[in-house]
Amino acid sequence: MNSREIENELRKYEEGKSVGNWLLFAEIAVGLLTAWAGMHLCLHAIFLAIDIWMKKDYGESEQRLADSAGKAVLFLFLTALGGAAVYMIHRAQKQQVKKCAYGYKKLVVDQAAEGLFDEYSYQAAEGFPRSEIKETGLIKMKGKYTSEDLVEGSCKNVTFRRADVALESRLTSTFHFRGSWSVFAFNKDFSSDLQIVTKDFRVADTRANSADGIEFGTRHRIETENEKFNKAFTCYCQNDSEAFYLLTPRLMEALLDADLLLGYPLMVGFVGNKLHFVIHSDRNYLEPPTDGGSLHLREEIEKVRCELKAVRFVIDALSIDQEIFKVGKRK
């Protein structure tokens, strides 16, 4: 995509955002009018009830009852109409915001992913289903689960999927986990689970076992002969011999490099025939700026490119040792 095409896409984004802002203003204005009509509806309903109750004692005319009833019906109609209008405008505004965000994210991801993968696709509204993450047994699944911004592709004959994942408390709206989750398929099958976490990755479920590795029981802690690696990471496995076979010197050095490069809590899990690479960044890189300021496209592209480079980093680092993954096939 050349600079002119990028400028056109950014102009569309700004125009779409402007439409969304006008819809939000219209929603607020109609909402206030609806509230005004609802207030008058309540008042005239009260007056009507009083008139009906007082009629026998004071002999009020039928005209006053008719006026009160007519006004109550009018404001009932206005309130219902306003409520429906607010609902429709709200839906249109949300759809407009989502459309703008998806268009912006697609532009940024396309630019950020250029040259990193042999092939890839991006789906802003898609992510990992909760069941898939839960079945890995790698993380404590508590709170509201969301996942979006799915990137799928392949490189060096390794297929991958990457998405944003979040686990949020339903009561306090605080995140237990928020970051990226990448899954790599190497067409190999590990006979048991291996989990590698940095010391500050506190939401890892270190004792759980996946459905595939349940025959080996829960994971237990092991240490390698690399002291530097032991200071940065903690390893949990179900089968010691396979774990040490997978923990090659090159793999440990690659993980140390990743820890230094990314600067966030990390977790790596070998489960079934997949490798899971998890970054607890406590942020969503693929969201457009919401501060109302101008777009700094180059900065946004570089942020996302750093995130996608982590995916390529894993592929480059682990493709060296692909022969190792032939061990431990399930029978």
What's the pLDDT score for residue 234?
94
Task: Tell me the residue type at 327.
Answer: V
Token duo for residue 22: 């006008």
pLDDT averaged over the chain? 79
How far does CA 4 lie from the centroid of its chain? 31
Q: How far apart are CA 101 and CA 88, in angstroms?
A: 20
Least confident of 24-33, 40-49, 237-246: 40-49
What is the H or E stretch that residue 279 is in?
strand 274-279
Q: How far is CA 192 from CA 46, 209, 287, in A?
A: 71, 9, 37
Least confident of 85-99, 176-190, 195-209, 247-261: 85-99
Q: What is the pLDDT of residues 32-77, one digit of tens each?
A: 888 887 887 787 777 777 766 666 555 555 666 666 677 777 777 8
Q: What is the pLDDT of residues 120-176, one digit of tens each?
A: 898 888 999 999 999 999 999 888 999 998 999 988 888 899 999 999 987 777 888
Q: Determine the average pLDDT of the residues in 171-194.
A: 82
Q: Does the pLDDT value for residue 28 go beyond 50?
A: yes
Q: From 28, 325, 2, select the one nearest 157 (Cα to Cα).
A: 325
Q: Determine the average pLDDT of the residues in 112-121.
A: 88
Model confidence band, residue 236 (pLDDT cutoffs 50, 70, 90): very high
Q: What is the pLDDT of residues 277-327, one digit of tens each?
A: 999 988 776 665 554 444 567 777 887 888 888 888 888 876 655 555 554
Question: Are the beta carbons of 137 and 271 closer than 8 angstroms?
Answer: yes
What's the pLDDT score for residue 285?
65
Question: Are the beta carbons of 139 and 207 closer than 8 angstroms?
Answer: no
Q: How far is CA 50 from CA 36, 45, 54, 59, 315, in A?
A: 21, 9, 6, 13, 77
Task: Tell me the residue type at 138.
Answer: L
More confident residue, 274 or 323: 274
Q: How far apart are CA 11 and CA 94, in angstroms?
A: 20
Residues 6+ apart with CB under 8 A from 265: 197, 198, 200, 201, 202, 279, 280
What's the pLDDT score for residue 91?
81
What's the pLDDT score for residue 72?
73
Q: Does the pLDDT value for residue 330 go beyond 80?
A: no
| Cβ burial, residue 233 (10 Å; 0-12/13-18/19+) | buried
What's the pLDDT score for residue 277?
93
What's the pLDDT score for residue 104?
76
Pseudo-torsion of CA 114, 115, 120, 124, nearest 10°? -30
Model confidence band, residue 4 (pLDDT cutoffs 50, 70, 90): low
Percentage, residues of the chain above pLDDT 70: 77
More confident residue, 225 or 65: 225
Half-sphere exposure (Cβ direction) of 18: Cα atoms closer than 13 Å: 7
What's the pLDDT score for residue 294?
43
